[in-house]
Structure 1
């Protein structure tokens, strides 16, 4: 069966009718959908087929490659978790890293045009022609399908435990707007930079100065005050400008709020901000070494990272994370939420600095339940993806995946590894459970004479401890850092 067997665990069935912004991953995976978008799709999937008693979600499951036995399992899992079968189907398919475009085409094959409209802003504009113009006209821009409407649909009844989660997170109600005045209020202790100065620093935003592009803007290299800087110019390019502006401005506020307060050698310094021009801008220290992701995976890259440089990156990243988790005290950790090689930047000496604080949340010394999932799926643990359990152990898990990627140069997600081990964390655990040696996985770009195999094996064991599926078995980052420093002392 191409779709795979229904997994034994999935997301919590609790949900609310809020429309909270979450990180929009450029990969377009189904898990990036906002709650209203999921609700809309599920509502139409719960309807019965014309002249049939079968629900559309069952037909969709068949299109996804599921057999009848799998459909029965999905229905049973939905009942156990008090969610709609359509929602459970999306969760199961999402666990296999399917994309919004794939879901869009499944809906198209079923002629569920109204459901396709719910995903319109999640697929390339070239796909919009598949939605009949009549549907586009009849669908109001602000129409949403509430969670209650789905829960009261076929085969479902609302239960008492479906109240909205409470969370001290960055999420905001859709009624709340984030504007430039709020940025100014948050940034009152941060240097304000004139937009014209940044324009001059980048040679009027020259294309030659572009370091990278993201869903909400472009990062430029600039020369400001005789200092090399990286300037994030916030822009909105997709169809739903208002929604994206709200998400990005909220993330920008987080960057200002937390980067300004987190002063550490392994956390990216924020130099200032600008809001007096056509686009808001954030100004950071320029990191000449680029991202760890680029150094590991780019087709054209400087010399490969040496074993010692990778150790330096592992140590520095651990130091930065333990600082985030502890500098305000054990009861008020800051949780990064999106640790991955792309967000670990290197200076010219390969000293790492953690960047992209847009998804940072305030945690507590106890496990919390939050109302939405965000971040980058291959680096996130199952308790967060499935049950929205939020703690510092999310960062620990992500760090473990980074360790694997750093010393093997294998990608965090790779379909060629096989259906059950596409995720690097699962692949390494599969090798470990089968008592297979880890040495063959060492990145071959490193000079073998510089690699300490015993130290490498010890590092992989740290990665395994960090990616344990049981979050209670995962170490805190302070313990990880202590172990790393002991290893360095032992093998130097």
Structure 2
């Protein structure tokens, strides 16, 4: 039992305060007399301070062994603070595996691997904070020269991030034990002084939302690629729900948490909010309501009751996004079209109108039968009755059928009907008189419309901790988060979902 707890004890036992740390702050380090710069240096398990990151010569300070510390430096009743007490039973210690599955990097390793976290290696802002590209050797923790070795993404937890130390620990806890082709691979971590980093495999195409919604500079994703991405993500969720010793609920499935490699293979990332699912006779686990507007299952938002069908709803929202090219929640659209799942519901099951959901950017290059099946799949996954939603293995089977369909819409009656309806709609729109713009939620009709990037739901406190972006950030350091802040901490659901009499 003690060996099972050793790793998490060493991770959580650093006297860490999320509000007091950030990249670039001073960290304790040990002297490294054996190092000869960043390259070709002998491993001595020592690190350098970040106080002078612009210079290869760092002042050294003594650092105690991490394994000898306990949570917040305290000992309760002469016994170490146990990991299961930290997680209050929400993460099962039974999933903790051998310590040698992850590499433990020194901060100096990561300074060298990322070129002192230089700007041209910057990938974006994630939930934890900034993310940089780096290079490490195939084995061990030594850095490699830039452009050689193994490319990695280094995610730094900062005080400005919307996630905290518990999410950082949860990410390590799950990704060190869960192995699947459709889950992002965690190579290791750094925990040194106030520094917290995670080192992942590098995903060259970044997050799905960056490719799906960035209509200005990126060609639209082809139909077959969209279905391939959905199939990979579905396999990842099916593994978490049905193939692990304890079911794992991802709890934050969305396009920005799906990363893509060069061949558009999808991998789930950001396990900071993941939780063990119910077992035995239990139908749900009760948690704080967290996530992102538009992706959260209504019953979870209202009650905090969580099970695997909550993830299925989120997956259905992403299916509709991939089919339509619209965002799951878009405040820039008319009120009745802002929530994609609600707006799409009547069209998805209507054979005469389902084509209204199809992304115009696809043109005629989509499968007629496949688009019908995908619309119905999105509808079934976002069913308001959780018991009526399919399990993810059934979703995988459906997508495997869709990906093999090749009845493209080119020169079909359906496609010509779509073109005629769109032309008619555009003509009517051009005939409408100009009218003052009224911003939703504004008290004045003369208010200037807000940019979709800046329209946010009210924050849930002075320091919201949850990011709505991927580790890579879909739009870089400025526009890296999705347009809407997540619901967080409080159990109070949005007013539109409030229960009668509440």
TM-score, with length taken from structure 1:
0.58
Higher helix share: 1
CA distance in 1, matches of 2:111, 2:173: 24
CA distance in 1, matches of 2:358, 2:335: 23
Task: Tell me which residue corresponds to 2:169.
Answer: 253
Note the C-alpha offset of 1:258.
0.8
CA distance in 1, matches of 2:263, 2:85: 35
Matched-pair contact (CA < 8 Å) for 1:274–1:281: yes
Structure-2 change in CA distance of 1:434 and 1:488 (3 Å) = closer
Task: Tell me which residue corresponds to 1:280.
Answer: 196
Structure-2 change in CA distance of 1:335 and 1:170 (3 Å) = farther
Task: Tell me which residue corresponds to 2:129.
Answer: 217
Task: Tell me which residue corresponds to 2:323.
Answer: 407
Deviations 1:264-305 (A, max 9, x none): 111100111111364211000110011110001125544321
CA distance in 2, matches of 1:300, 1:172: 46
Task: Tell me which residue corresponds to 2:376.
Answer: 461
Matched-pair contact (CA < 8 Å) for 2:170–2:271: yes
Alignment pair present for 1:370 and 2:315: no
Alignment pair present for 1:202 and 2:202: no
CA distance in 2, matches of 1:169, 1:358: 18
CA distance in 2, matches of 1:490, 1:348: 24
Matched-pair contact (CA < 8 Å) for 1:170–1:361: no
Task: Tell me which residue corresponds to 1:471.
Answer: 386
Matched-pair contact (CA < 8 Å) for 1:271–1:283: yes
Matched-pair contact (CA < 8 Å) for 1:222–1:230: yes
- Paired residue secondary structure (1:235): coil
**What are the residue-to-residue correspondences of 1:134-213 with 2, within 5 Å?**
189-213=101-125
Alignment coverage as a number of residue pairs: 306
Deviations 1:96-131 (A, max 9, x none): xxxxxxxxxxxxxxxxxxxxxxxxxxxxxxxxxxxx
Query: 1:358 aligned to 251, 272, 277, which one?
Result: 272
Note the C-alpha offset of 1:262.
1.4
Query: 1:389 aligned to 293, 305, 326, which one?
Result: 305
Matched-pair contact (CA < 8 Å) for 1:379–1:398: yes
Alignment pair present for 1:237 and 2:151: no
- Paired residue secondary structure (2:232): helix
Matched-pair contact (CA < 8 Å) for 1:194–1:276: yes
Note the C-alpha offset of 1:390.
1.0
Runs of at least 5 residues in structure 2 that lack an aligned partner in the other structure:
1-83, 90-95, 138-148, 408-502
Matched-pair contact (CA < 8 Å) for 2:349–2:379: no
TM-score, with length taken from structure 2:
0.57
Structure-2 change in CA distance of 1:300 and 1:272 (3 Å) = farther
Matched-pair contact (CA < 8 Å) for 2:369–2:405: no
CA distance in 2, matches of 1:484, 1:210: 35
CA distance in 1, matches of 2:220, 2:328: 18
- Paired residue secondary structure (2:151): strand
Matched-pair contact (CA < 8 Å) for 1:212–1:220: yes
Structure-2 change in CA distance of 1:405 and 1:171 (3 Å) = farther
Query: 2:151 aligned to 210, 228, 232, which one?
Result: 228
**What are the residue-to-residue correspondences of 1:8-407 with 2, within 5 Å?**
189-214=101-126, 216-225=128-137, 226-237=149-160, 248-276=164-192, 278-298=194-214, 301-329=217-245, 332-365=246-279, 366-407=282-323
Cα root mean square deviation, aligned: 2.7
Task: Tell me which residue corresponds to 2:459.
Answer: none
Structure-2 change in CA distance of 1:185 and 1:258 (3 Å) = closer
Note the C-alpha offset of 1:377.
2.2
Query: 1:484 aligned to 383, 387, 399, which one?
Result: 399
CA distance in 2, matches of 1:481, 1:289: 23
Note the C-alpha offset of 1:309.
0.6
- Paired residue secondary structure (1:232): strand
Structure-2 change in CA distance of 1:368 and 1:229 (3 Å) = same
Task: Tell me which residue corresponds to 2:461.
Answer: none
Structure-2 change in CA distance of 1:217 and 1:186 (3 Å) = farther
Note the C-alpha offset of 1:251.
0.8
